[in-house]
Structure 1
């Protein structure tokens, strides 16, 4: 009987020890799981913070780049405006008509006049003659057709320096008529010949040219009427 009691007591102690071991293991596992979850959560938070920081940096760089680009454009626009103003101011004191006559001559005849001026200051003059609407295209033909609008005739001092007959379109272009410096044949001296000249009108763009060339031509300008 005593042996049975002792055996039962031994078994009870053994079972209690196993139960305690299982509880300890469960607790240990639970603690380990929580520690792992905590570590994972901290890692996720850190990654999120780093990602947010990266996005913020990119936004700052993009914003800075945009600001630099805008500043550059403003600077370029200001510079361009200043240059244009400087060009315009270089002809301050000259009338619009004077500038137009010089620019038209430069656009149609070029700078050949410089060779004459280099030889002598009296070797070239830019003569201006204003022609009202109704002026005959060929003054030497009795039945010549007439210009339908006011025209300007520009000519050099001598016949070989040629001439230009045009009307201003007031938009940076002119209508040029192919009037010869000399009417030398019978066809030109007929009504049909003068009509051919009128029909041969072309539109030409007038650039701003070199301001110094404009000043040079204005200095030898002679307006007849």
Structure 2
């Protein structure tokens, strides 16, 4: 999974978080990251440290440079400082961390465990479009709801918006045809599965190749970044569709 061309297909990297919640902050963290994690404890500390380790693994695996010298920008890690020019998107859920890497801006990643949301119908009735309500409620399958939910979350991340008032800016049909409120014919959404999690990526790309994706070996407590982690399994893509322009009423 290496490359640096502007047409490089995005990649998704995932790992389970270590069991311990009290890891020592590794030396390869930036000063900003050291200061940030000093204010965290428990699950939040574990999630933060694992995500920073995963960013290094993702950038190293994509660019081919050593992990311990990779680093994201300070603050929200939406792109890289070294190596420069890579865009990032993170997601966390129930002990799983994920990081997407792309050569172009407009990148959004969301993961969700299958079987979540026992009252998903209420979410559909409150926030989804009338068309989505019709087919999701008639089909009565929580997994379809989760696919639509992660598509919307990833779309909003990729377009730089929050959930409030924006969930209907992407409409998903019963055959998973996608329509969004942003122009351009290069918006793509890919939905996959690894173990018991859905993994959804929205990105911009002029080609039609599937992204690469893999689950890495759970990092050791020391969170060593200089060596690439072993790949446990590859991400299985369920579907891969272009996003067309949403027709306005």
TM-score normalised over the length of structure 2: 0.22
- Judging by fraction of residues, say which structure has more strand: 2
- Judging by fraction of residues, say which structure has more helix: 1
Q: Which has the higher contact order (CA 8 A, sep 6+)?
A: 2
TM-score normalised over the length of structure 1: 0.24
